[in-house]
Chains A and B, each alone.
Chain A
Amino acid sequence: MLESSPMRTPPAHSTSEPAIAALDLVKRYQDVEAVRGVSFQVAPGEVVGFLGPNGAGKTTTVRMISCFLPPTSGTARVFGIDVRERPRDVKRVLGICPQEDNLDPDFDVLKNLLVYGRYFGIPGAEVKRRAMPLLEMMALQDKAKSPVMALSGGMKRRLILARALLNEPRVLLLDEPTTGLDPQARHAIWTRVRALRATGVTVLLTTHYMEEAAQLCDRVVIIDEGTILLEGTPEELVRQEVGRSVIEIWDHRPEVADAMRELRGRVEEVGDRLYVYPENEEEVTRLLDARFPGQARLHRQATLEDVFLKRTGRALRD
């Protein structure tokens, strides 16, 4: 909820007003254009994932929306509030989970929440009232008095998420929320984000884990070199861009590749592996069985990762 004075609060929001609206956002540094004209909207209650390789401009875009970085040009609004005109009001409705751990190492878990709540002007008693349910939600209720330095990586991440929820945000910005976590910790975060989505919180997350995007997001936006390449639901994108399935052919001889290229559909050769995106799956499997029996292969469902690699290429980005 907005806590600003009535004078500055805009008229009651209509339900059709986007939670996030970015129009032609540009971020230019001396000689690099990190974000080159990005426009998108996120509807209230929607979970949208920004996918892109390292350096694609995901984090820069999120940092502009969260008022960390002033855009070079273009506008960004959160529930109609311009990030440049009223950053304090924008940040009041945002819950921000940064990529890096920035908890206060000198404080215990509860104290971290108390100090953070003070920045929002939430009284200590109210923070304490909100803290316990949040810590329980994040399975940290027994850690309230533990020093932050004694927490595992997964616990720290959950505490950062709890901290981001302290001001009861309407929009949650999660910047690579599970990078570096083990599978248990990652699934624990996913479960919480899905639970939050059920409460109607709007979520914008960045990730380079396709599974994470497929698990959590209503809609994904694939971004590379500072521009949006594609957007849609994960299923739509897979269907449109790749098709139903992929046949991976392992340790193939050159003749196999030649034979595959004669069929309809896209073929990609990467090292010792051949990726076939068939228009007709049976045509491929029949030909393989007939001419190359015993050829090692994997026939699998197409995934978002195939879309991603198709559109952003396989070249390394560091």
Chain B
Amino acid sequence: MRDILRNLSLRAFRVWQRDADVYFTVWKTEFLPPLIEPMLYVFGFGLGLGQLVHDVHYQGRTLTYLAFMAPGVLAVAIMFWAFFETTFSSYVRMYYQKTFDAILATPLLVEDVILGELLWGTAKSMIASTIMLGVLTALGLVHWPSGLLVIVIAAAGGLLFSAFGLIMTSAVKTISQFNVPMFAFILPMFTFSGTFFPLDILPPWALAVAWLLPLTHITILVRSAVLGMAHPMLPISAAYLVVVSLVLAGWSLVRMKKRLIQ
């Protein structure tokens, strides 16, 4: 671990820059999903389901279902964009395109590559949530300027899920094995983290589990920022996010280094 910390350098930015260059080369297809995704959710869930579910009581406030759900959509995007980037996309770069090998033939070290991937996954979350924030603002669902904090939350949450994704990438033998963390972690979090319904309707045991999930804390933070209101859990959620993202980032460096150097 001490070796890893010593070898970290700003050169990681070169790896980040390479990934960003690819992204902006193919931007037409990359920009579209975060633009369309919130609209689908808003029209599908918000307007469809919102017909059935009228008001949601959240922290002493009464919200329309649409207003309650919109921050959940953002929180989910923070998780998805980072996780998909450092699982499927990183795996393609590592295994199929041999991009990491090409980079390692230059003065960059394995640590630079891993850090660059982590930071790029983080950036993907930030870019996607910024675009979605714009769409949701246009729909009148975001409180300003507190809504801007979503981008900061996306930085921490993006790092957390980038690191989680890279740990998975260090472990899988084939690209199809990413289905395991998808069904074991990502999809349960998608549903049970207070994203689409308030946590307090869960039975106590499920609530206890929900408090352990990172997406629960990201959702609390994002919802507070988007609605411009406080929440008693804010300090704990913020601390959880910072600590867990740093721990997972360190762990991902150790695991990926093992995978890349035999």
Interface residues of A (CB under 8 A from B): 29, 66-70, 87-89, 91-92, 94, 96, 98, 100-107, 111, 115-116, 118-121, 164, 167
- What is the bound-complex CA distance between A116 and B98, given in angstroms? 14
Chain A residue numbers with a CB within 8 Å of B101 are 68, 98, 100, 102
Inter-chain contact A104/B18, CB cutoff 8 Å? yes
Chain A residue numbers with a CB within 8 Å of B14 are 118-119
Residue B184 is within 8 A (CB to CB) of chain A in the complex: no
The list of the 6 closest CB pairs from A to B, nearest first, reads: A102-B98, A119-B106, A96-B105, A102-B102, A88-B107, A106-B22
Given contacts A69-B262, A104-B97, contact A91 B26 (CB under 8 A): no
Find B97's partner among A66, A68, A102 (CB 8 Å cutoff). A102
Which A residue sits closest to B260, measured CB to CB? A68
**Contact indicator per residue, chain B 135-149, by CB within 8 Å of chain A (1) or not (0):** 000000000000000
Chain B residue numbers with a CB within 8 Å of A120 are 106-107
Shortest beta-carbon distance, B108 to chain A, in Å? Answer: 5
Find B21's partner among A29, A98, A111 (CB 8 Å cutoff). A111
- What is the bound-complex CA distance between A69 and B260, given in angstroms? 9
Shortest beta-carbon distance, B76 to chain A, in Å? Answer: 27
**Contact indicator per residue, chain B 90-102, by CB within 8 Å of chain A (1) or not (0):** 0000000111011
- What is the bound-complex CA distance between A111 and B108, given in angstroms? 19
- What is the bound-complex CA distance between A116 and B14, given in angstroms? 9
- What is the bound-complex CA distance between A66 and B103, given in angstroms? 12
Interface residues of B (CB under 8 A from A): 11, 14, 17-18, 21-22, 25-26, 97-99, 101-109, 261-262
Inter-chain contact B18/A100, CB cutoff 8 Å? no
Inter-chain contact B262/A29, CB cutoff 8 Å? yes
Interface-central residue, B11, B17, B101, B102, by most chain A CB under 10 Å? B102
Chain B residue numbers with a CB within 8 Å of A118 are 14, 17-18
- What is the bound-complex CA distance between A148 and B74, given in angstroms? 36
- What is the bound-complex CA distance between A214 and B40, given in angstroms? 65
Given contacts A104-B102, A118-B14, A119-B103, contact A69 B261 (CB under 8 A): yes
Chain A residue numbers with a CB within 8 Å of B107 are 88-89, 91-92, 119-121
Shortest beta-carbon distance, A32 to chain B, in Å? Answer: 11
Shortest beta-carbon distance, B22 to chain A, in Å? Answer: 5
Inter-chain contact B99/A102, CB cutoff 8 Å? yes
- What is the bound-complex CA distance between A215 and B190, given in angstroms? 62
Which B residue sits closest to A120, measured CB to CB? B106
Interface-central residue, B14, B103, B106, by most chain A CB under 10 Å? B106
Which A residue sits closest to B98, measured CB to CB? A102
